[in-house]
A = this chain, B = another copy of it.
């Protein structure tokens, strides 16, 4: 019943776009999360595991919605959509990074992809809303789903921070590999399912302009809010991408380069301010511990994108109904929050091997981690000598 029939539906352009999106999923998301000093194996390794599982499950769920003579037919288009549903899971993964076991994450994948499928069907088929770059159905959905899960898995003991919840110099550089690949290929993401031709090319250029403007505002605001005008790597790694998220819904609309740049510019500001001021408040007041700050990169920019879509449709930039756009945004947020909360409750059941507080953000609970670097080995030796010296 699961048959691969890929005929004229697939061409060089589609394959090339698929490949770009694939790089975003596996390199982009995977390395973006390697910023933690002791959680790099899990970031890139569990990203690979979850994505490989999610794309199979996503193809199956999607295929069951669209059975063709009782068979699931596979095409490049469906493979792109499977990568899209995978993106949702990886965004939510960012919210709970370091605080969940692989089994918990596989359960989250199973449930989130299913709920994503329902919401996507509703938004695209019932409401017939525009969301070509998926600001609402992927970014806002994935972020609020993850935040709801994080709320359910709240750990009071981490309120004062955790020694491993931070970066080291080279882990921040690994994360920049993820950032830059996401940044470069985002135009392909936002144009992947656009109508071939002028619409698709508009999606490419709008995303390109939004991202370029977003970099400028993210750097400017990071420098403004930090001590002595310094830049903060967390902002650069994440907020520079918010323009890609926020322009998603409008990407194939005729908003013009300046329209796209305004959206990106605002997204960069909102995202950076969120990291600086909102994330600590969410953690201390609402019990939402958002490891990667997905609320700032995907949540708020996703809502911004949804609102921009409502405005753009109201202004006649694309056929559609502003009310349906608003309903699509509400639906995405509703399914995310309710679905995420329910999923979080299931993940909280005591037999999934959730790591204890002191082992959070630490690969060594799930991975064989190599002996420390030479410097530290000799250090151990040094400590030994020191003990002798002290003795």
A55 within 8 A of B: yes
Cβ–Cβ contact B76 & A2, under 8 A: no
CB distance from A180 to the nearest CB of B (A): 5
CB distance from A40 to the nearest CB of B (A): 5
* In the complex, chain B residues whose CB is within 8 Å of the CB of A226: 368
* In the complex, chain B residues whose CB is within 8 Å of the CB of A52: 211-212, 215-216, 240
Size category of the A interface is 35 or more
Cβ–Cβ contact B12 & A12, under 8 A: yes
* In the complex, chain B residues whose CB is within 8 Å of the CB of A74: 205, 257
Cβ–Cβ contact A48 & B180, under 8 A: yes
* In the complex, chain B residues whose CB is within 8 Å of the CB of A16: 12, 15-16, 19
A135 within 8 A of B: no
* In the complex, chain B residues whose CB is within 8 Å of the CB of A209: 4, 56
Q: A168-B373, A219-B49, A376-B374 are in contact. Are A230 and B198 (CB under 8 A)?
A: no
Task: Give CA–CA (A27, B45) in the complex, Å.
Answer: 18
| Residues 333-391 (chain A) with a chain B CB within 8 angstroms | 365-376, 378-379, 382-383, 385-386, 388-390
* In the complex, chain B residues whose CB is within 8 Å of the CB of A177: 27, 31, 177
- 8 Å CB contact of A368 from B27, B49, B231, B369: B231
Cβ–Cβ contact A40 & B173, under 8 A: yes
A114 within 8 A of B: no
**Which residue from chain B places its CB closest to the CB of A378 in the assembled complex?**
B379
CB distance from A45 to the nearest CB of B (A): 5
Cβ–Cβ contact B13 & A12, under 8 A: yes
* In the complex, chain B residues whose CB is within 8 Å of the CB of A388: 390
A236 within 8 A of B: yes
A302 within 8 A of B: no
Most chain B beta-carbon contacts within 10 A, residue among A37, A166, A227? A37
Cβ–Cβ contact B382 & A257, under 8 A: no
A26 within 8 A of B: yes
Task: Give CA–CA (A365, B231) in the complex, Å.
Answer: 9
Cβ–Cβ contact A216 & B53, under 8 A: yes
A65 within 8 A of B: no
| Residues 17-43 (chain A) with a chain B CB within 8 angstroms | 19-20, 22-23, 26-27, 30-31, 34, 37-38, 40-41
Residues of chain A at the chain B interface (Cβ within 8 Å): 2-4, 6-7, 10-13, 15-16, 19-20, 22-23, 26-27, 30-31, 34, 37-38, 40-41, 44-45, 48-49, 52-53, 55-56, 74, 76, 79, 102, 166-170, 172-174, 176-177, 179-181, 183-185, 188, 198, 201-202, 204-206, 208-209, 211-213, 215-216, 219, 226-227, 230-233, 236, 240, 256-258, 261, 365-376, 378-379, 382-383, 385-386, 388-390
